[in-house]
Structure 1
Amino acid sequence: MELLSQYGLFLAKIVTVVVAIAVVATIIVNLTQRKRQRGELRVTNLSEQYQEMQEDMSVAMLDNTQQKLWHKAQKKKRKQEAKAAKAKAKQGDLKEAGKPRVWVLDFKGSMDAHEVGSLREEITAVLAVAKPQDEVVLRLESPGGVVHGYGLAASQLQRLREKAIPLTVAVDKVAASGGYMMACVANKIVAAPFSIIGSIGVVAQIPNFNRFLKNKDIDVELHTAGQYKRTLTLLGENTEEGRQKFREDLNETHHLFKSFVQRMRPELDIDNVATGEHWYGVQAQEKGLVDEVGTSDDLLLRLMDGREVISVRYLQRKRLMDRLTGSVAESADRLLLRWWQRGQKPML
């Protein structure tokens, strides 16, 4: 018995030491990351990537002898290019090439549109260097979410429009509700044939547990200053007046949504498409919701002809604790989003 007691005490000491080390390590990591809270901007030349892939495929089709000759020729070519670049640098000729650029951004939106934080940094970076002949392509995927989040995301895209930088939004999967609010800002919308487009409507739902609480003899008191500080509640008894005000607020939000889309795409028959319905890419083109049917891949390949296509991504740095809690929240968000999507569209 004494042996078991000593063994248990030994284990407790070991666990205490391990926990203490883990806590100290976490504090050190968090202190280190606080010094570099700002995110990282990643710039990738997609034109060069595509050219390398094209070359790899071409070389793979050659026999061994031809491959050796090709590699030899490429080595010689790179030496000549490096020599020429060095000579230009010595002469002080550091002017940028006159080739127009296509800046490629990506937005995969969640329900709360927290990705707008990265989008605003990416757009600011592009605006800092973009030339008049440049343009922007946004690869967008979002079924929508909270009004204020997607309203801000659309406003970020308007910054490009105000600077007269052509913006094309490419939708491969879905741009619905708040996602379409973002897409309609573009000068041109390209959608894949079976992408989901539209859903220009507003929805809100709230459960009410008042009857359940009454059955359990539980009272809920809610005190407000202002007639409509609260309209519908989770626990209190809702009134018809509150319901009516809630519907009025929804209708007002819908009106603002419609007005925004109409202002961005004045040729659109807004009353015909602002019913809350969604359509597939081909149908959306017929209704004027999109301008062209196609994938983002084909769009970028076309733009590579005579242009330099560059991807810009802003990656937020997160603390260790934020990563742990954030991953759980994002998993729950994705699960809810998946359930919502399954209820909103047919399955194949």
Structure 2
Amino acid sequence: MTTDLPARMLRLLSLLQTRREWSGTELAERLGVTTRTIRRDIDRLRDLGYPVDGTTGHTGGYRLASGTAMPPLILDDDEATAVAVALRTAAGNLTGMEETALRALAKLEQVLPRRLRAQVTALQQATATIEWARRVPRVDPTLLTALAAACRDHETVTFDYLTSSGAQASRRVEPHHLVASGGLWYLLAHDTDKDDWRVYRIDRIAHPAPTRRHFAPRSVPNGDPAAYVAEKIATAPARHRAIATVHAPADTIRRRTWALAGRIQPIDANTCTVDCSSNSLPGIAQTLAALDTDYTLDADQEVTAYLRKTTERTTRALDR
């Protein structure tokens, strides 16, 4: 039973932050007090400025609502460590987030217990980030926030979209999920004009606008948003076609390449096909080199011409 009032209030606040809504009975059981005590403690939180909404009646409940300012969060040890590390390392692909993330990190580290501060500091000091020459497009966090809110509120949005061919197009969609993959962000949405599911690169989206029209959420075709987006990425049309028949088991090739699993299909126990098609000729060459075994290639003329030129360049370098 939680008898110490300050400790019980902190525990109550922590519970309210972990779920959208709690019944008074559930909170009373968790804290080992009566529902009457819960009602008094809720009133105390409200007096302190926490916006706790409640409904009356037999099925009444409580939830922490949004207010004019964000109330202090209560995190356990693992949550605090995860947030601190994420603030340090996860903002690299979001435009303009470095300074904001570091300010938030400074506030968090200031109140971390000494034991946790030492753990976070050790992890950060032992972690380094490699900057690759070819960087993925960065995403505006304001854009991510707007799309995430539309997904949460089931609100139709419109936006301008830059297609893979470089054309500008207007879209009107019902947004369902945000999916991150390989440093890129994707929006999974149902296109109202085409009446079909579509996957959009978020770095190609501009000027999103809410319509204040809400929709009933749909079920993703295969029930798994990430798997569906991965399948669509793997089967998306590419500028350059290249299909390799590889003399190695599919599982072996999956371990050797960065190719999506859906692009590697087994033929038998010792042979598979790898769809290396891409908008980048160097990218195709890199995937083929990573196969590290014999293969035959069915590819467009520009792909074979590029590979011959690369082979000739390598041969001249070796001859020298």
- TM-score, L = length of structure 1: 0.21
- TM-score, L = length of structure 2: 0.22
Higher relative contact order (CA 8 A, sep 6+): 1
Q: Which has the higher helix share?
A: 1
Q: State which structure, 1 or 2, has the greater radius of gyration over its C-alpha atoms.
A: 1
